[in-house]
Amino acid sequence: MNYNIALLKGDGIGPEIVESAVKVLYKVGAKYGHTFNFTDYLIGGIAIDTVGDGLPKETVDGCLASDSVMLGAVGGPKWDTLPGDKRPEKALLGIRSAMGLYTNLRPAKLYPALKDASPLRTDIVEKGFDIMMVRELTGGIYFGERGRRQGKNGEEAYDTEAYSVMEIERIAKVAFETAMKRDKRVISVDKANVLESSRLWRETVHKVAKDYPEVECTDMLVDNTAMQIVRNPAQFDVVVTSNIFGDILSDEASQITGSIGMLASASLGDTTRGLYEPIHGSAPDIAGQNKANPIATILSAAMMLRYSFSLMEEADCIEEAVNKVLDKGYRTADLAKSGETALSCTEITEKILSEI
Ligand code: IPM
Ligand code: MG
């Protein structure tokens, strides 16, 4: 089969890590007889610098015409002083929204080889964990009304968290469907003790839960969830939550796996066209130095094969290759303990390629 993939390399380490994932896809394609065609499009700071727009129309059109999209990262100090609606991050929200990608899957699991890299105590890590974070991606405070105004204390700023029943229902369904293929447990995270939007979230999730009697559904407040992720991560199977809570909790979940450089993500809507990106950012401090960990992006490529193209065996092949490389003790700088040799981005990519 022939697959057309749009590449949005973006800023910082984006180009390096996407290059690694492309090499891996070529190798997998050659092994299993698929052709992957790649087309680059601009996004983020580089797009602002080149064409004066973080999300040019050609990029949106190119993504919508592709079979799937792979993204590196956007943003950096150079663009940090731009007004909010001109920042590179706005382009990322824009492409998620333009592609209708309301679901963000962020799997955080412990690789046995990385037990030592996790900051958690050994007795907690020993139990292992495999969390599928299902984050709502096109609603909530990220997209609600915002602005500046005069308040009773003078100038103030506001952002609005709003969720419709429709938005909650569709993400809840994804969570329950995902749980049906896993351990059949969903934890729905909210702040229903304070927020009205969370109370509607909770009510709606409970209604959807009735259609999935086999799945155990539990509510958890977001502050408690933040604590439970480091106290007992083994208790989680599927976690479903709002855009902002999912953003925060997925960074926390990534860190306990050993490094934020390990966490892949898939953003999906109602079609098979998705957007795949590592959950980490553009890491401007190490950009262009060949030091970045490309594993999250390579694992995102595996998610693309699985979720967009239904190439299960091929996806497994990438994940097994990553596993083998970690088992053999190869580490990038973010994973290496003091005294251990850190491989560069291209070196670890070569190791992974040689296992495919
Ligand atoms: C993420 C990132 C983005 C988000 C930023 C860069 C807009 O933190 O994908 O988690 O908040 O969604
Ligand atoms: Mg984030």
The mean predicted confidence, pLDDT, of the chain is 97
| Single pTM value for the model | 0.96
The residues lining ligand 1, judged by C-beta closer than 6 Å to any ligand atom, are 75, 89, 92, 247, 279, 281
Q: How confident is the model at residue 152 (pLDDT cuts 50, 70, 90)?
A: very high
The pLDDT tens digits of the residues spanning 68-103 come to 999 999 999 999 999 988 999 999 999 999 999 999
Active-site annotation, residues: 142, 191, 223, 247, 251
Place of tokens 């190490």: 286
Report the nearest atom of ligand 1 relative to the CA of 247. 10
Q: Which residues lie closer than 8 Å to 215 by C-beta, 6 or more apart?
A: 176, 179, 180, 184, 185, 186, 209
Strand pairing class (103-109; 130-136) = antiparallel
Report the nearest atom of ligand 1 relative to the CA of 92. 7
Residue 349 to residue 321: CA distance in whole angstroms: 10
Q: What residues are neighbours of ligand 2 (ion), with CB under 5 Å?
A: 247
Residue range 141-149: average pLDDT?
A: 97
CA–centroid distance, residue 226 to ligand 2 (Å)? 15
Ligand 1 pocket test, pick from 92, 137, 244, 275 with the greatest ligand atom count within 8 Å of Cβ, gives 92
Which residue CA neighbors atom 5 of ligand 1 most closely? 89
CA–centroid distance, residue 5 to ligand 1 (Å)? 22
Report the nearest atom of ligand 1 relative to the CA of 74. 6
Of the candidate ranges 135-139, 230-234, 245-249, 258-262, the one whose mean pLDDT is the lowest? 258-262
For residue 310, what pLDDT is reported? 97
For residue 335, what pLDDT is reported? 92
Structure tokens at 318: 């990438």
Instruction: Please state, in angstroms and as integers, the Cα–Cα distance from residue 29 to each residue in 25, 144, 342, 345, following that order.
Output: 6, 41, 29, 21
For residue 321, what pLDDT is reported? 98
Ligand 1 pocket test, pick from 247, 248, 251 with the greatest ligand atom count within 8 Å of Cβ, gives 247
Which residue CA neighbors atom 6 of ligand 1 most closely? 89
Q: Indicate whether 337 pLDDT > 90.
A: no
CB atoms within 10 A of CB 93: 18
- Under 8 Å between Cβ of 78 and 45: yes
For residue 51, what pLDDT is reported? 97
Residue 261 to residue 292: CA distance in whole angstroms: 8
CA–centroid distance, residue 331 to ligand 2 (Å)? 23
For residue 87, what pLDDT is reported? 95
CA–centroid distance, residue 252 to ligand 1 (Å)? 13
CA–centroid distance, residue 282 to ligand 2 (Å)? 11
Three-state SS string across the chain, please? CEEEEEEEEECCCHHHHHHHHHHHHHHHHHHHCCEEEEEECCCCHHHHHHHCCCCCHHHHHHHHHCCEEEEEECCCHHHCCCCHHHCHHHHHHHHHHHCCCCEEEEEEECCHHHHHHCCCCHHHHCCCCEEEEEEECCCHHHCCCEEEEEECCEEEEEECCCCCHHHHHHHHHHHHHHHHCCCCEEEEEECCCCCHHHHHHHHHHHHHHCCCCCCEEEEEEHHHHHHHHHHCHHHCCEEEECHHHHHHHHHHHHHHCCCHHHCEEEEECCCCCCEEEECCCCCHHHCCCCCCCCHHHHHHHHHHHHHCCCCHHHHHHHHHHHHHHHHCCCCECCCCCCCCCCECHHHHHHHHHCCC
